[in-house]
Structures are given as structure tokens and as C-alpha cells.
Amino acid sequence: VKSIQARHFHKGRLAPVRLLTVHTMEWPETVTAAEDCARMFATMDRPASAHICGDSNSMVRCVADRDTAWAAPGGNADGLHYEFFGRASQSAGQWADDPSQAALRVAAPQFAEWSAKHRIPLRWLTRGQLRAGLKGLTTHADISAVYKRSDHTDPGAHFPKELFLKLIKAELGGSDPGTDKSQVPRFARLLAAGTQGTDVAVWQRRMRLRGWSLAVDGKFDARDADICALFQKEKGLAPTGVVDLAAWRAAWLAPIT
Ligand SMILES: [Zn+2]
């Protein structure tokens, strides 16, 4: 990967990476767009940058992953940022044209690498999940909407989110680093109403990460049992409200939906 260092960035990271963020450069879809945008980041006075710029035939590295790009206020400290060529105003048809499809294929391996390295689940965060601090993919538009510190709407309403997710998953052979098997903590005992302990907190923390709203207090109460039952039902398990081995493993291994 070519490298043209951006002029404006923060040395080091302010928080662990949790967001993989998609932007558009607001730049024509030319074969040198990545290089052109990177050169602009290297020379311009306005404080803006991204980790990588990509077009239909190559990527250019502008900021190292270990440093913080100035790409989307609110999502800089814990984000990695990728600029696609093209514009936020593109229609679905324009995203389906050959140059755009090629750009998605250029970017997918990079997102797969980021996802694996930082254990980012392969999902698009809802704005609620983004606000709640969950890990996943997001857009400059959603960061603007949630943190209200910029008004950019890239990559636009018609960016092919599901297709891009499919391309990233294909790079990883269908596995999701956010639900890696090596991540499952040891299952020690059944968790039922009244159970207390650090294993309860481990399960609660995991369920919060999956988007459930519950307290991480190490005490398995009626609300935890209700959430467990809802989760079991969602995953096709018997909704007993008791965290057994199947429910425990599913909390780490089942796709986050
Ligand atoms: Zn942007």
C-alpha cells in the first residue's frame, strides 16, 4: 500500500478502536482519486484527514492505524476512517456502476483486516448502538447525527451497506471476528435468578455489548432472566431464562442481530 502522510492528525490513539467508518471524498470517480485526496490531506491548511483513501484500483495510507485521524468529530478517538471516491449524493445505480463496485472490492480486504485485528463485529451499528458505545461499522453521516459535531452526510443514503458487509465477510471466509470462538470464556455453572458472582458480570457485560440494556452488577435478577429468555427465543433455544451452556456459548458465538 502506498503511503502519503497527512498533515493533520493526532499522534497516538486516544481510545481503543471500536468504529470502522465509511466516508466519501466528494471527489470524482477517477483512477487517481486516492492519490489526489491523499495529496490534498498532505498539503491543505484545513485540519482534516483519514487513515486510508481508496479508489477503484488502489488505496493510499494517509494516517497510521496507531495514530488518530481527524475525519469525523465524535468518532475520531476510537475510529478508523476510510475515504471512498465518489459523492454522498450518488444514487443506488451510481453505486452499482463498475468503478464503484471495484472500489468496494479494493476496500473490503482492509476492513476485514481491521475487523480481525480489533475484533470488530461485522455489522452496521444503529444510531442507538453507536451512541451506546458498541463496536461495529458506521458512517460519517451517523456520527454527525449522534454526536452533532459535524454536518457531513457521507457516504450518503445509497451506499450499498449490505453488499459491502458481504464482501468483507467473504474476505474472512464467512467468520465474524466479533464472535470468534477463542473469545468464549469458561462456563462454570448455570446462572439463574439469585445467582451472584463475577461470571454473572461477565455474561451481563457480554449481553450489553450485544445491545441489551441491563446493569453489570454481578447479580442475576428477574430482569436478567427475562433478557436471557428473550435472547434464547431469538436464537432458537428453549426460553428458560436460565443461562445454560448453550445460552452462554450463543452469547459469544451467535451473530449479533
Ligand atoms: Zn466524511
CA of 37 to the centre of ligand 1 (A): 12
CA-to-CA distance for 35 and 4, rounded, in angstroms?
A: 8
pLDDT along the chain (257 residues), means of 10: 95 94 96 97 96 98 97 96 97 97 97 91 92 93 96 97 95 76 78 95 91 93 97 94 92 83
Type and span of the H or E element at 138: strand 136-139
CA of residue 131 to ligand 1 center, whole Å: 18
Between the CA of 150 and the centroid of ligand 1 the distance, in Å, is 9
Q: Quote the ligand 1 centre to 79 CA distance (angstroms).
A: 12
Alpha-carbon distance of 89 to 69, in angstroms, equals: 24
CA 63 to ligand 1 center in whole angstroms = 15
The predicted model scores a pTM of 0.73
85 Cβ contact list (under 8 Å, min separation 6):
24, 25, 27, 28, 29, 30, 33, 34, 37, 53, 54, 55, 56, 99, 103
Which conformational region is residue 26 in: left (phi greater than 0), alpha (psi within -120 to 50 degrees), or beta? left
- Burial (Cβ within 10 Å: 0-12, 13-18, ≥19) of residue 101: middle
Report pLDDT for 2.
94
Other Cβ atoms closer than 10 A to 5: 14
User: Ligand 1 centroid to 227 CA: how many Å?
Assistant: 37
Q: What is the reported pLDDT for 109? A: 93
Tell me, in angstroms, the distance from the centre of ligand 1 to residue 14's CA: 20
d(CA 154, ligand 1 centre) in Å: 5
> 208: CA distance to ligand 1 center in Å?
28
Q: What contacts 229, CB < 8 A, 6 or more positions away?
A: 239, 240, 241
Q: What is the pLDDT of residue 130?
A: 92
Q: Cα(68) to centroid of ligand 1, in Å?
A: 15
- Residue 23 alpha carbon to ligand 1 centre in Å: 4
Q: Is 241 left (phi over 0), alpha (psi -120 to 50) or beta?
A: left
Q: Cell 497510521: give the residue.
A: 64
Å from CA of 25 to ligand 1 middle: 7
Dist. CA 2 → ligand 1 center (Å): 21
